[in-house]
Amino acid sequence: MATCGEVLVELLGSYGIDTVFGIPGVHTVELYRGLPNSKLRHITPRHEQGAGFMADGYARASGRPAACFIITGPGLTNIATALGQAYADSVPILVISSVNNTRDLALGEGRLHELPSQRALTEGLTAFSHTLLWPDELPHVLARAFAVFNSGRPRPVHIELPLDVITANADHVRRTAVPISGRAGPDPAKIAEAAALLRQARRPLVVLGGGAQHASASARAVVETLGALAVTTINGKGILPPDHPLSLGSTLPQPPVLGELTHADVVLAVGTELGETDTLLFDSRLRLGGKVIRVDIDPEQLTRNVLAEVAILSDSDLALRALAGQLQQHKADVAAAHARAQALRVKLQDLLTEPQRAHQRFMSAVQEALPGVVVAGDSTQPVYSANLFYQAERSRSYFNSSTGYGTLGYALPAALGAKLAERDRPVVALIGDGGLQFTIGELATAVELSLPLAILVWNNRGYGEIKRYMAERGIPQIGVDIYTPDFLAIARGFGCQAIRAESLAHLQDQLRQAQRAPGPTLIEIDEASALRW
Ligand SMILES: Cc1ncc(C[n+]2csc(CCOP(=O)(O)OP(=O)(O)O)c2C)c(N)n1
Ligand SMILES: [Mg+2]
């Protein structure tokens, strides 16, 4: 007999899932029975929040979802924060959890790991949360999950299996993936409307968000045909190549770019929420002077933050391809646009403050030492600066938790997940001394897996960002000067290589060595020194 848990594992494999992150407990062991007969690799983090962030980093670096096996109750509450981060940035993660026996559900009799309602907890953090009451539902609910991941706005999905359902007979249940629909294309009438607006535009501007990560070629075609200046959000970094003559990078909150947004007669915003962690305008709202065309796979998103003249419900690549087709005959003064973009880029570089320039030298050293690097960042000083100036070589190479939900402790497990997905690319975690202390236990996971990961710890001995924020507002700096442990000793204790960088050249040398090391390397960067490098 094959149990529901065993068939689930087989089905996950048939959908292309190859990695599952989980900490087994008595409630989930029956999910593990089928693992040896599958191609699924199981990774054990040291905390379920780590499992969620690993699956998040895995998906952001590769575009492919991973699964998490999570125990009832505390496992699920532990992963909830990671679901919040993935939900906010539209990242696909499949969380499979157990839940108490069907006959015990909602009785509140004090069963082990019991919550009054697990689904109520995850419903607000996922595209959907489903309780599997019958093995026959399995192919349907998994098809629904992969429809979200592949065809809609990707977000986490939670499926919980009661203990008696995991072990129920599922011999008769389908074990192969259901073909999932392709992504939806645009209404031709809307494309014609948008193309008409864009043809008349004298000063068009294109904003590319994380939802256009897979649309590099078509985005480029539209930008170039229109002779439009283009900015990306942080999650859109890399859609246009770093040296693209029409690109302003991801510099949205800088005054010259805000000026462009106000003066553009048509703004084409693709796959972006235009939320405050995209625009980085925390104290004011985005002001768009001209007509707005928005493209999004989520119809509700088309109405949030900025209302559009033309709202196109579509996969971003399909819409951009259709637009490029309609605009083929369009003639724009591209040379003039190149010159304007170049002048703006010079202005933008001039605007960087001294610390931002030091962060830029630091990040350039990282990029130069590790071509093709994936940077998984936390919420720390060089990350905020790099959000403005960093030019990723391609999509899926730069992401961090200062966007969306803004969770400290993300970078280490996310980098670990990214490295598992992209073994051939160098992966770096960039995290502050405060952030690292949230998830430092995942160093053990990286050592266990012999992952050649570089963990850059930006050490300013405190919650620097909040300290600065308090100072600016005349608030006493309470709770921000935290005790800082000896990270090098701790890392060595975990079995990592560990070293303090002495200069940019030394940092580069260590980064290169870290790629050849048999496990992770923690590289401490003393902020006071690094600001002078
Ligand atoms: C889970 C969580 N708790 C608290 C915060 C609030 N917070 C944002 S930045 C920050 C300081 C982070 O310190 P560190 O990681 O050392 O980075 P630094 O700003 O010092 O470079 C804090 C406490 C948060 N974003 N996430
Ligand atoms: Mg700090």
CA of 371 from ligand 2 middle (Å) equals 27
pTM tops 0.85, yes or no: yes
What secondary structure does DSSP assign to 328-380, as a single string? Answer: TT----HHHHHHHHHHHHHHHHHH--HHHHHHHHHHHHHHHHSTT-EEEE-SS
Average of per-residue pLDDT values in the chain: 97
> Which pLDDT score, from 0 to 100, does residue 279 have?
85
CA of 533 from ligand 1 middle (Å) equals 24
Q: Is 377 in the pocket of ligand 1 (CB under 6 A)?
A: no
Q: Is 402 in the pocket of ligand 1 (CB under 6 A)?
A: no
Read off the pLDDT of residues 79-113 as tens digits, 9 standing for 90 and up. Answer: 999 999 999 999 999 999 999 999 999 899 999 99
CA distance 47 to 413: 10
**Residue having the nearest C-alpha atom to atom 7 of ligand 1:** 466
CA of 434 from ligand 1 middle (Å) equals 6
Q: Is 387 in the pocket of ligand 1 (CB under 6 A)?
A: no
- Residue 208 makes CB contacts below 8 A (sequence gap 6+) with 215, 219, 230, 231, 232, 233, 236, 239, 240, 270, 271, 272
* Sheet of strand 454-459, all strands in order from the earlier edge strand to the far edge: 398-400, 374-377, 427-432, 454-459, 521-526, 497-500
> Which pLDDT score, from 0 to 100, does residue 283 have?
83
What amino acid occupies position 107? L
For 94, phi then psi, to 5°, come to: -105, 110
Read off the pLDDT of residues 455-470 as tens digits, 9 standing for 90 and up. Answer: 999 999 999 999 999 9
The DSSP symbol for 126 reads: S
Three-class DSSP category at 406: coil
Distances from the Cα of 521 to the Cα of 17, 252, 281, 518, 527, angstroms: 29, 34, 36, 9, 19
**Residue having the nearest C-alpha atom to atom 10 of ligand 1:** 463
Query: With left for phi above 0 and alpha for psi between -120 and 50, is residue 390 left, alpha or beta?
Result: beta
The DSSP symbol for 390 reads: -
**DSSP alpha helix (H) spans, 440-496:** 442-448, 464-472, 487-494
**Residue having the nearest C-alpha atom to atom 4 of ligand 1:** 408
Q: Is 72 in the pocket of ligand 1 (CB under 6 A)?
A: no
The DSSP symbol for 303 reads: G
3-class SS string, 67-103: EEEECCCHHHHHHHHHHHHHHHCCCCCEEEEEECCHH
Q: Which ligand has an atom closest to residue 385 CA?
A: 1
By residue count, the chain amounts to 533
Q: Is 407 in the pocket of ligand 1 (CB under 6 A)?
A: yes
CA distance 156 to 145: 9
Residue ranges, the chain, pLDDT below 50:
none
Q: Is 186 in the pocket of ligand 1 (CB under 6 A)?
A: no
Query: Taking a C-beta distance cutoff of 8 angstroms, is the pair 80, 125 a contact?
Result: yes
CA distance 402 to 222: 29
The DSSP symbol for 283 reads: S
> Which pLDDT score, from 0 to 100, does residue 284 have?
83
CA of 110 from ligand 1 middle (Å) equals 36
Q: How far apart are the first and last CA of the chain?
A: 65
Q: Is 355 in the pocket of ligand 1 (CB under 6 A)?
A: no
- The continuous run of DSSP H or E covering 459 comes out as strand 454-459
3-class SS string, 165-229: HHCCECCCCCCCCCCCCCCCCCCHHHHHHHHHHHHHCCCEEEEECHHHCCCHHHHHHHHHHHCCE
CA of 409 from ligand 1 middle (Å) equals 9
